[in-house]
Structures are given as C-alpha cells and as structure tokens.
Structure 1
Amino acid sequence: MSSNKKMGLTQLTILVAVNMMGSGIIMLPANLAQVGAISMLSWAVTAVGSMCIAYAFAQCGFFCSRSGGMSAYAEEAHGKSAFFLCSYTYFISLAIANVAIALTCVGYAAEFIPWLSASPINTCIGTIAILMITCAANFGGPSLTGKIAGVTVWGVIIPVAGLSVIGWFWFDFDTFKMAWNPHNLSMGNAVSSSIALTLWAFLGMESACANSDAVENPKKNVPLACLFGTAGAAVVYILSTGVMQGIVPNAELALSTSPFGLVFAHMFNPTVGMIVTVLAVIACIGSLLGWQFTIAQVSKAASDANLFPSIFSKVTKNDAPIVGMLIITAAECVFSLMTISPNLSKQFEAVVNLAVFTNVVPYILALSGLIVIMRKAQVTAAVYKRNLIITMVAITYSFYGLYAAGTEAVFWGALVTVAGYVFYGFKAYEFERKSIEPSIVPSINDEHMPTAIA
C-alpha cells in the first residue's frame, strides 16, 4: 500500500475511538446512577488503565510479528496452553458480551414494548429471541454484516457524542449535586462499585493495533492513536454520563431501561426521546449482528488452528459457519437463563461483570507476554524500562478490574477458566506431537512406555 493511501494519526485516532464507542455505553448511565454521580471517578481510573493496556498491546504488535493477536503474545511467555486458554476465554467473553448487548436492546425496546420488562422471564425471552434473530440473519454470509454494523453503530455514537456537547445547555448543577453520592459511599467503594461497568465500555481496545500495515509510520502513530483514541472515548463517556446526571433526577435515571432516550425526552420532548430510543435499538441489533458473525469467525479460526472442535470449521457455500453460529447462540441462550435477575438492570450488571472477568484473563496473559517479547526483540534499556512500567500499571489495573467484578463473577469466571485447562487436555497431545520429531515419538506398544496405574 502506497504511503499516500495509508491512514495518518488523526484518522487512526478517530477509528480507534469509534471502534470502542459502540453499544456498550448506552445502558451504563442507569447502572452508574445506582451508585451516584461519584461513579464518574471510575471513568478517570478506567481511562488511565485502558490507555496503558492499549499502549502495551500496541508494543506487543510491533515487537512480535506472529499472527494470533493476544493468544500469540500469551504463548511467548506461557507456552501453547496459554495460546489455547487466551483464545478460549476471549471466545467465552465475546459470547457473554453478546448477551449484554441483547439485554441493552431489550431494555431500549421495552420503552415501546412494555411487555419485555414486565418480568424477568419476559426479559429473558426477549433477549433469547434477539440472539436467535441476529444469528439467523448471518446465515447469508459476511457480505452485508460488516456494512450494516458499520452504519447502524452511528445510531449510538451520534446521540452519545451529541449529548456531550449540547447537553450542557440543559445542565442543572443542583440536580447534579443531589446525584453526587446519594448512598454516602466512600470514594474507594464508589469507584470499586462501578469500575467493572466502566471497563466494559472500553473492551475491544485490543483491536486498535490490528491493522498497523495500513498506517503511516506505525511505530509512532499506532501507540499514539491507541492513547489518543482511548482518551477521546473517555472524554465522551465522562461528559455524556456527567451531563446526564445534571439533567435527569438520579432516582429516575437509576430506574430507566433506556437512559439516553430518557435524557433526550427531558431535553426536548417524548417524541425526540423515542426517536433516540429507536436509533439505539437499531444500533444494538446492527452491533449484535456484527458480533454474532465475529464470534463465529473467531471460533472458526480457532478450529482451523486445531484449537477448537472441527465442527466450528464447517461453512456453507456463502462462507457462513452456520453450525458454529447455532452452537454459539445456544451457549448464549444458556448464559441468558443463568443470569436471570429481578430486573433488567441487575441482569445487565451481572452479565457485564462476567464478561469483564473472562475478557481480562486473556488481557493479563497477553500483557505478561510483552516482557518476553521485548527481551527477544533486544529492545534498548530505555524502551524496556518505559514499556515495563506502563505494562505493570496495565496489569495492576486489570487485577483491580477482576476484583471489582465481584465475588459471583469471579467465582463463575474462575470455573469457566479452569474448565479451559480440561478442554486443553484433549488437544495438548496433538500440539506436543507436532513439536517432536516422528522418529523419537514412542510407539503406543513400546516396552519402555510406563504402565497404567490401576
């Protein structure tokens, strides 16, 4: 690709910010309002931690040219089992994240279909229906999926970014002051109570450095774009959720299933609020459509690499891995049933916490790989020291994210992660066999093979 066709720093920064500002933000204001406006402090903590994570991943990409992304970085430090575990937990996190997106869609759709939020069972039925519909919509192949998702995501970005700018004309300081700390929480408890929710909005930053070949001066521009793009998204997140707390009374906001529709109804009129709500539903469906196909492709790639069962590799003439999609959607439906809660907001928070845990595990595995990667690349002492400091901040924040996800999420996430090692046991021999010369692989009947223990 010629240099005049490559992206510059500004273009890449915008791309990074847009990639993160998807449907993950639009349910958060209601959940954060349950803590109070003091939860905005967690945005600042998450912004710093996320920028460190994004920067460290950019450095991994520069000094490790292997394909495989986070899984490859993890293998550099921890071996083939880490490659599998990283792929496996990332796959699980995407499946859980899809449930959270579907719940967001149900929450906003409930504004004009009240039945969806009438009971936990109704919410679950609606969530499963959306998962199944978006799965079936991908059966035709990838030709339209990416285009639809790329257009519909603006149904979220425009209202969120727009509110950050124009919302201040309706901002009332007294309303914000009353919303600051309604439960009289300490600063530490307030931040910990909402850190997993804010981290959820930044998940996906690891994809920021995926296309460094299409960037001018990538060694300089990709890390800067990761930092600036993450910071830009953080500014929009802080401004939009902050101004909302000064427009809508805290108690009303905390109970809402469509907070952005609610705030635009307060600013203008119910019709405008309903338009924003409809845009949000369309954006969620488009986002989920893309992610349903993406997770099917992730599982297919893992299957092609002999990490997942071969059934995930089967595709139709339209290049759609339908069988894999159906298996994944069935698993997502099970997650929906497992996380049924008294109300939609509680169910959303439970799903987000579990998604954060399973996503941060591969983060930590991959980030720790940078230490080995830099040694292999023989970077200068100054670069090693700088990157090590940033990586340790990123890892420390990641552990804080695991802690803040809560006891239940850590419990179930740990069970899911440990189960990965069991699954790897069925594949480990194949990987080991490929790394040994055939001439020295012992026969199954070799007299020197150890006998089985009864």
Structure 2
Amino acid sequence: MEKKNEQQVGLKREMGLFGGIGIIAGIVVGSGIFYLGSYVLERTHMSMGLALLCWIVGGVVSILGGLCFAELGACDPAAGGMVVYLDKAYHPVVGYMFGFTSWLLSGAGSISAVAIALPTALQGYFGFSEMTIKIIAIVLIIALTAYNCFGIKLGALLQNVSLVAKLVPIAIIVIGALIMGRQTPDLSLIPAGYDGGIGGIIGMIAFATVATLWAYEGWTNANAVAEEIKNPGKNLPGALIIGIGSCTLLYVLFNFAIYRVIPHAEIVSMIGEGNLYLGTEVANRIFGGLGGGLVLAAMLIAMLGSANGMIIAFARYYYAMAVEGHFFKSQAKLSKKYQVPTNALIWQAVICIVLVLLRNLDQLTSLVVFSGMVFNTLVVIAVIIYRKKFPNLERPYKAWGYPVTVVISVVLFAGLMINTFIEDPVTSIIGLVVPALGAVVYFIFDAKMKKEKAQQ
C-alpha cells in the first residue's frame, strides 16, 4: 500500500521556463564550442562562409526536430520523454531499445566522457596522471549524483547557475573579438581553388553539418524532465525553441569572432598542426594570459553543467522504463521526501564509473552516435503517428508548418544517418547492435511478466 502511495505522489513540478532552457543549453554548450569549429572548417575545405552556413544548417535541423519534440512533450508531458513517445507511437520494445542503449552505453558513456574531459582540461597545469584523471572523474560523478538526489529544484538551480557562469566568459571573448578583431573574413560559399560542381558543395555541407550536430547534441533531454516542468504545454516548447535558437546564435557568433581575430592563413596552419582550440588562441591574443584563464574557466563550468544536466535527464529514461514494467523494479522507486528516482540515479552512476575505469576519453566520445540519430528520426515521425492514433489528445502546442517541417526533419536526419554510416561504419554498426541487445532483454522481461501474471 505504501508503495502505491509513493508511486501516486509522482515527480514534483518545480522547474520553470529558465530551468528548461538551462537543461538544454547546459548540456548543449560544453567544451565542443572551443574546438568543433576546426572540424567544420576542415570539412568545408577551410571555407569560412561555408563553415558558418553549416553552423546555421545544424541549428535549423535541430530546431526543426525541436518543434516536433515540443509538440510531443506538450501533449504528453511524462517523465522519460523519448522512451514514452516511442512506446506509444510504435511498440514498448522501441522505447525500451532507446532507453537500454542510453543506460548501458550512450547516456552513461556521455556522462563518463565529460567527467573525464574536465580533469583532462587541467592536465597541462597540474600534470595529472591517467589514473588521477579517472579518480577525479569518479569523484565528480558521485558528487553530482548525490547532489541530484536532493530534488529537481537543486539540480535545476545548479544548471541555471552554471549556464550563466559559463556564458559570461564566452560572451566576454565574443564581444572582445568582434570589437577588437581587425580581420575581414572572406565569407564566400565557394572554397578557394575549388573547381567541383554544386553536388560537391552540397556533400561538403552535409559532411560538415554532421560535425556541428555534435555541438548541438543534448537538446532532446528537456523532454525527459517534462513531468517536472511547470505548465509544460507552454514552458517546454518555449525552452526548446529559445534554447536551441540561442545556442545556434552563440555558435555562429563565436566562430565569426574567431575569423575576426585570426587571419585565414594562420587558421589553416594551426589546424594543420593539430591545434584545434581556436577560441583559446583568440582569447590569448585579445586578453593575454587572462584570456587563457577565461577559456579554461568557461570550459570547466561548461563541462560541469553538461554533466549535471545529463545526470538529471538520463535517469528519467530509466525511471520511465521501470514504471512501464520491463526494467528493474527498483528503478521505478521515488525518494519519499524529494520525489526523485534515487535508485535510477545511483545505478546510472555505477555504470558511469565502470565505463570511466574501462575506457579512455577518445573511446567514450565515439560511442553510439548513429543510434541517437535513428531514435531522433523515429521520434520526429512519431508526431504524425500521435496525431493519427490520438486525435483527441489535447495539444497546447502544435509543430509549426506541420506536416512539411516533419517531413523536412525526417529527410535531413535520414541524409545525415546515411552520411554517418558511410564515413564511420563501425560506430554505426555498434549503434544498431546495442539496441538489438536491448530488444532481447525486453522480451526476457516480457516473458517473465507474463509468467508471473499467469501464476496469479
């Protein structure tokens, strides 16, 4: 009886609009803002104009997907986000495959990667050994997990504070570069010396846009905490649109600011020598030694906020899976006092720690990119399925331009998936094998549940 009452209490709605924006921007704006611009330039044959266009295209793709997620989150504001939508639109096994992949690999791997990246950023100052880095990463995971066991309100507060704290030094660098920069960047959309056709340009844009999507990764996680957002029909769509839109503007301005300070020839030389952190170079040139400190502070705070946001969001997926019935029952339990999925948070931390001990940063950051795009595409298509299966469901927000925007989103995601499979087939195959393993586990639980019901 006590268990039933605990379940009825449910999660607390204590997060407002800014909290939702904090979850999105807090996860999205990580250390990638400082180095991913180099990869985008490489993939556009060092064309500044094409590179900026790709950052805009990446933002547009994310916003189009965000509009679809906003409709689903507003009409079905349940904890678990994508797990719930995939369950209802297709079959519970599909949502389970996504949640299982996140639990075992992609979600835990993302948290572990950021936790390792934070002390790695300090390695040049303190000379940390590899084992010291792993120990610091484990302590960070344990500390943030323990902190988030005391309620979503505290978790959202840290997210909001870290968001503001990291945006201040980034804003100082961008404004300083735009004002003090003396370069007039060539924003032509044709790379210097390029003699190919329009097809080659389009292929270049697609390949470089995939790199930008690494920087935008994380915007889907606001839906995971929809059950804890006040007035989700209004605040969730607002958080998605404002959050993704703001990140797009920030990325475009940050990269343009780099072009204003560092001459094109020097950028080419730096990237060729493996120096990818162009933002750090900009800060050093404008502010001297203080600039390096600003970048380091922004990177550390960005990674802290990103790790905190992922710890909050991912645990809600596993909670939703357990509530649905095909996962470990313990992960469906909520803390009586704080109404957070404490067991899901703790088990998530355990898996993260195991991954930290077993893998290095490069291995962790390459895990399961392809499967993420597969499930994002399925969720976008779910908007159409929801409208057909649940026509009477109240929809406080409807995706703009439906169904055109949905179709465009699916086509864009499909194109990016095909491109990723061609460029990185091994990661793509892993991204399909792990969800398939999740399906096997689902049917094992399903058979167990049916057996228990038959014995009652």
For Structure 1 versus Structure 2, the TM-score category normalised by the shorter chain is 0.7 to 0.9
SS at match of 1:307: coil
SS at match of 1:358: helix
Cα distance, 1:404 vs structure 2: 3.7
- Structure 1 window deviating more from structure 2 (159-168 vs 237-246): it is 159-168
Cα distance, 1:432 vs structure 2: 5.4
1:5-404 equivalent positions in 2, closer than 5 A: 18-19=25-26, 21-23=28-30, 24-35=32-43, 36=46, 37=48, 38-64=50-76, 67-91=79-103, 92-102=105-115, 104-106=117-119, 108-113=121-126, 115=127, 125=131, 128-138=134-144, 140-142=146-148, 143=150, 146-173=156-183, 181=191, 186-208=200-222, 210=226, 214-215=230-231, 218=233, 223=237, 226-248=240-262, 249-250=266-267, 251-252=269-270, 255-256=274-275, 258-292=277-311, 294-296=313-315, 298-303=317-322, 305-309=324-328, 319=342, 321-334=345-358, 336-337=359-360, 347=362, 352=365, 354-378=367-391, 386-404=401-419
Instruction: String of CA shifts for 1:349-374, please: whole Å, max 9, x gaps.
Output: x7555453232232122222222211
Root mean square deviation of aligned Cα: 4.1
Structure 1: any 5+ residue segments left out of the alignment?
117-121, 341-346, 444-454
Cα distance, 1:238 vs structure 2: 0.9
1:404-419 equivalent positions in 2, closer than 5 A: 404-405=419-420, 406-419=424-437
8 Å CA contact 1:138–1:289 kept in 2: the answer is: yes
With over 3 angstroms needed to count, the CA separation of the structure-2 counterparts of 1:215 and 1:308, relative to structure 1, is closer
With over 3 angstroms needed to count, the CA separation of the structure-2 counterparts of 1:146 and 1:32, relative to structure 1, is same
Cα distance, 1:235 vs structure 2: 1.3
Structure 1 match to 2:9: none
Cα distance, 1:429 vs structure 2: 1.9
Structure 2: any 5+ residue segments left out of the alignment?
1-13
8 Å CA contact 1:102–1:284 kept in 2: the answer is: yes
Q: Which amino acid aligns with 1:246?
A: R
Q: Which amino acid aligns with 2:29?
A: G
Cα distance, 1:198 vs structure 2: 1.4
Q: Which amino acid aligns with 1:112?
A: Y
Cα distance, 1:167 vs structure 2: 1.9
Cα distance, 1:233 vs structure 2: 1.8
TM-score, with structure 2 as normaliser: 0.74
Q: Which amino acid aligns with 2:402?
A: N
Distance in 1 between residues matched to 2:185 and 2:350, nearest whole Å: 47
With over 3 angstroms needed to count, the CA separation of the structure-2 counterparts of 1:422 and 1:153, relative to structure 1, is same
Distance in 1 between residues matched to 2:236 and 2:364, nearest whole Å: 32
SS at match of 2:351: helix
Cα distance, 1:134 vs structure 2: 1.3
With over 3 angstroms needed to count, the CA separation of the structure-2 counterparts of 1:296 and 1:76, relative to structure 1, is closer
Residue-pair matches, total: 410
With over 3 angstroms needed to count, the CA separation of the structure-2 counterparts of 1:324 and 1:169, relative to structure 1, is closer
Distance in 1 between residues matched to 2:252 and 2:243, nearest whole Å: 14
Structure 2 match to 1:343: none
8 Å CA contact 1:135–1:325 kept in 2: the answer is: yes
